[in-house]
Amino acid sequence: MKSYSSASILLLLTTILTSCYANNLGLDFHHRFSDKVREWTDSRGLPPAWNPEDAPRGSVEYYQALLKHDLHRHRGRSLAAGDLYAFASGNETIEYLGNLHYAFVDIGTPNQTFLVALDTGSPLFWVPCNCKQCAPTSDPSYGKIEFSNYEPNTSTTSKAISCSSDQCFTTSRNQCPNKTADCTYIINYGSPNTSSSGTIVQDDLYLLKESITSDVVKIPILFGCGEVQTGDFLDGGAPNGLMGLGLSKISVPSIIANNSLISIIDSFSMCFGTDGYGRLNFGNEGSPDQNETSLNINPHGFYNISLTEIVVGNTTNKLPFDAIVDSGISYSGFIGTIYTKIATSFSAQVSERQINVKGSPFEYCFEISANQTKLELPPVSFKTQDGSTFHALHPAVGLFEQNSDKPFAYCLAILQYDMNIIGENFLVGQQIVFDREKQVLGWEPFNCSSNEHISPAAPPPSTPAPPPKAPAPSPPRRIPNSACARPVGLSTIISVVASIISLTFMRLPLCY
């Protein structure tokens, strides 16, 4: 079976976060294919592309699309106590155009609403503005939504930033033609010929305090007046702007943390639910019970951690390596040596026959027999340099045929990349804390819907049974175009006996 590598492709490290502000700023987000988003899109008469039945959940075409998305996004560039705040337009986000996550934000006086993509790997928040070359404000792919373009002259609170200002982090002083010249920016993204450029401006961002009083708060924020967009930004990706959540001084988390109106810790958390529901809080340091490891702060702005061991079931591989934690990548991926260690250890400890699913991006897939009612998967975890254990709660995905209530196969959902990336499928079911102030990454099992901690499952037996002999691969099987996947009652169809492990059917459209 073909293995996939990004040797010649820089993946676009983009987030699936949302953003807000204050002592603890809260915001919900939803996966594009969750039931809530399906209801949202149906209520707005959005086109079938939002819920693509031509690439249904669990089909080869679906996984191929996600792989293309992951490879495309890998970029080669640089509940705490307190009040909760969310964007004034609402605290839900969605994912659709370009496989990015989006949130509605309000800017200016009077306020204008924008549907912006959310990106932890990007240093800057920008919206289309004084457009010389921008995406169209309306398009069949947008459904019935018509976007806005920001016009500084129509906002009474808009302020231009000069390149001689201390607030101009994007232009060096020696590049200023004169003291009153505008502060300019240009950002090149990993996608081919994709960029945004324009000037830096300041205006008010509207936030809603999540309390009984529901106070609306306005904070001045720096962002890009995006006059010229190129590449993917003209072809459906982030057509109405992008909110940078990276490590730069001008990113949204940095500006919020340094705002003098409200004291906030420079830390934010992301919680990813198995149902596509998610939540992000700024100012959240997590709980005292969470696991933590040091962040390797680097000039490229990646959230990078050091790992020392790979543990798959009863197999431990002492193999130190660094990995980027990126919620914008659908499936985790590793360089050849790491990938092989995980995959072969996993394959050696499952009893199902390995099959070749033609067209699947996943190399290690295993057949589930028609009368099978139980599935035992070895848990996958990593030991960090600080001695904490990071559990990959959902390392496998299920493959279904249309109108079937049971998966016919499952795959180890990791890919082979030219760098090590812990992607969304290893983050689901947990709250991940990016504590930039303490420079640590935290994580713990979490119920995103109820905002509650989840007690970890009992550990597996200390002396597990010897792993079954790996079966020989069977002839290739192709999933029909009508294949899909749906949530499965694990208690009735699949029983997972290993601790903190389950077969997940995430990020996929439902069968109906």
Q: Which residue numbers are catalytic?
A: 119, 326
φ/ψ bin of 401: left (φ > 0), alpha (ψ from -120 to 50), beta (otherwise): beta
Does residue 37 contact residue 44 with C-beta atoms inside 8 Å?
no
Does residue 442 contact residue 433 with C-beta atoms inside 8 Å?
yes
| Distances, alpha carbon 196 to alpha carbons 122, 130, 279, in Å | 12, 13, 28
Written as six digits, the tokens of 150 are: 């920001």
Does residue 210 contact residue 92 with C-beta atoms inside 8 Å?
no
CB neighbourhood size of 68 (10 A): 14
For residues 118 and 328, give the distance between their C-alpha atoms in angstroms, rounded to a whole number.
Answer: 9
Cα 216 to the center of its chain, rounded Å: 28
For residues 316 and 18, give the distance between their C-alpha atoms in angstroms, rounded to a whole number.
Answer: 36
Q: Give Cβ neighbours of residue 231 (< 8 Å, ≥ 6 apart).
A: 189, 191, 192, 193, 194, 195
For residues 235 and 237, give the distance between their C-alpha atoms in angstroms, rounded to a whole number.
Answer: 6
* DSSP-derived pairing of the beta strands 380-384 and 304-312: antiparallel
Q: Omega of the bond prior to 110 within 30 degrees of 0, cis? A: yes
For residues 476 and 161, give the distance between their C-alpha atoms in angstroms, rounded to a whole number.
Answer: 60
Of the chain, the end-to-end C-alpha distance in Å amounts to: 31
**What distance separates the 2 farthest-apart alpha carbons in the chain?**
76
Closest C-alpha to 365, from 380, 355, 377: 355
For residues 19 and 206, give the distance between their C-alpha atoms in angstroms, rounded to a whole number.
Answer: 12
In the block, tokens 């798959």 appear at: 312
Closest C-alpha to 488, from 474, 506, 472, 463: 506
Q: Give Cβ neighbours of residue 259 (< 8 Å, ≥ 6 apart).
A: 21, 219, 220
CB neighbourhood size of 157 (10 A): 15
